Amino acid sequence: MKIISIDKLYDYNYSVDVINAMKQNWKNRCSFSCIGRPKEKNMLLYLYGCKAEYTLPDKSKVYAKSGDIVYTPINYEYSVRFYDFEEDHYTIGVNLFLYDQDNAPFILRDEIIIFNLKSSSCSSLFTKLDKYSETAIKRPSKMKAAMYDILSILSEGMRSKNLHKEKFGVISEGINYLEHNEQQKLSIAEIAKLCNVSEIYFRRLFKEYSGMSPIKFRIKGKIEKAKLYLEYEDMTVCEISDHLGFISPAYFTQQFKSIEGMTPSEYKQTIRKTIE
């Protein structure tokens, strides 16, 4: 099955189908095994107030602690033992399918993953999933929304860790700025200064990271945001240009057309026709 690693999901067009969520207290029945009967769905398991020892097909062991999230893929076999229970303890397991942009299923890895990002947001999102799954009338849209948020947090967290581990770690602050700061007011020289490297070195390393220059990456990102404003907001071309920090509406239109093959106004008309 196709594998798309979790750190690649942050900008990947995928869909998720949440089957169910279940909260369990393991103190009286502290083990589970699917050896000989592989999992038919992906699972994300959140641990609270306990630890887990996973025994893998090759007999090796991996360990998870309270606050960790454990991913097990489709067709995976393992056994797990829960222990070191605190007074308040539980797990919340979520079964799900992941689909790529062509609606083909994929997994995040062909083995177990232990996430220990310590996100309080993830804890509340798993609780919501359990709550939505328990109601008499299922809430699939809310369950999907919560799972997208969880996957986004995990993806961003793993990506941030990888950035700092790899050679691009030295410019990670600049990468995060160019990817997430909407108005982009700092010059490339100022961004390089944030990273304590020369502008020339920053430009070279960033191009190696992204496949394009910082300027081109910045403009492309702004155009993607502009498309969202054109689709979902009642903003004029001038307002979008000003909000995104283009030097003029004419320059914004020029850059938009060079990337999208049409002007912002033409793009908006096309979107409206599609909706109608």
pLDDT band at 167 (very low <50, low <70, confident <90, very high): confident
Q: What is the mean pLDDT of residues 122-139?
A: 83
Q: What is the mean pLDDT of residues 88-112?
A: 94
Determine the Cα–Cα distance for residues 229 and 227; give it in Å rounded to an integer.
5
Determine the Cα–Cα distance for residues 140 and 146; give it in Å rounded to an integer.
10
> What's residue 274's pLDDT?
59
Element (H, E) at 70: strand 69-72
Inform me whether the pLDDT recorded for 41 exceeds 70: yes
Query: Which long-range contacts does 119-123 make (Cβ < 8 Å, 24+ apart)?
Result: 119/153, 119/157, 121/149, 121/153, 122/46, 122/69, 122/150, 122/153, 122/154, 123/46, 123/48, 123/67
Pair type for strands 2-3 and 51-55: unpaired
List helix spans (H) across the chain.
120-134, 140-165, 172-180, 188-194, 199-210, 214-232, 237-243, 249-260, 264-275
pLDDT band at 276 (very low <50, low <70, confident <90, very high): low
> What's residue 168's pLDDT?
86
More confident residue, 5 or 165: 5
pLDDT band at 137 (very low <50, low <70, confident <90, very high): low
Q: What is the DSSP letter of 196?
A: T
Global pTM exceeds 0.75: no
Determine the Cα–Cα distance for residues 159 and 88; give it in Å rounded to an integer.
32
pLDDT band at 158 (very low <50, low <70, confident <90, very high): confident
> What's residue 122's pLDDT?
87
> What's residue 4's pLDDT?
94
> What's residue 231's pLDDT?
84
Q: What is the DSSP letter of 56?
A: P
Contact (CB, 8 A) for 192 and 198 = yes
Q: What is the mean pLDDT of residues 243-266?
A: 93
> What's residue 270's pLDDT?
83
> What's residue 273's pLDDT?
64
Inform me whether the pLDDT recorded for 46 exceeds 90: yes
Determine the Cα–Cα distance for residues 221 and 48; give it in Å rounded to an integer.
38
Inform me whether the pLDDT recorded for 48 exceeds 90: yes
pLDDT band at 180 (very low <50, low <70, confident <90, very high): confident
Average pLDDT over the chain, rounded to an integer? 89
